[in-house]
Structures are given as C-alpha cells and as structure tokens.
Amino acid sequence: MGRSPLADAELSKIWICKKCKARNRAGSTKCRRCGYPALRPKRKDVKAKK
C-alpha cells in the first residue's frame, strides 16, 4: 500500500494549516506561520486527481 513506512511516518507528522496551508509539526496547536488554530493532519490518503 504505502510506498515506504518512512514516507508514511513523515507525512503523518505533518499537519497542514487550513488557512494558509503551511506545514506544521504534528502536535502543533496552531499554525506557526499565521497563528490559525485549525490544523489538520496530512494524510497519505490523498490520491492524485486525474
């Protein structure tokens, strides 16, 4: 399934700001770039759209 366990781990450690899309480390409560408190974990579930 996953390309590599390492890559999956790396992705799961990245949280994306819903406002500015900046990458934040997992565990962050708010974006370090804009301070927006809504972050979502980056999932490897994303498949390339056509």
Q: Rule CB under 5 A: is residue 9 a binding residue for Zn ion?
A: no
Among 20, 25, 40, 43, binds Zn ion (CB under 5 A): 20
Please count the residues of this chain forming the interface with Zn ion, following the rule CB under 5 A. Answer: 8
Q: How far apart are CA 34 and CA 41, in angstroms?
A: 17
Task: Compute the least distance from the CB of residue 31 to Zn ion, in Å.
Answer: 3
- E strand segments, the chain: 14-17, 23-25, 39-41
Q: How far apart are CA 50 and CA 45, in angstroms?
A: 15
Interface residues with Zn ion (CB under 5 A) are: 17, 19-20, 22, 31, 33-34, 36
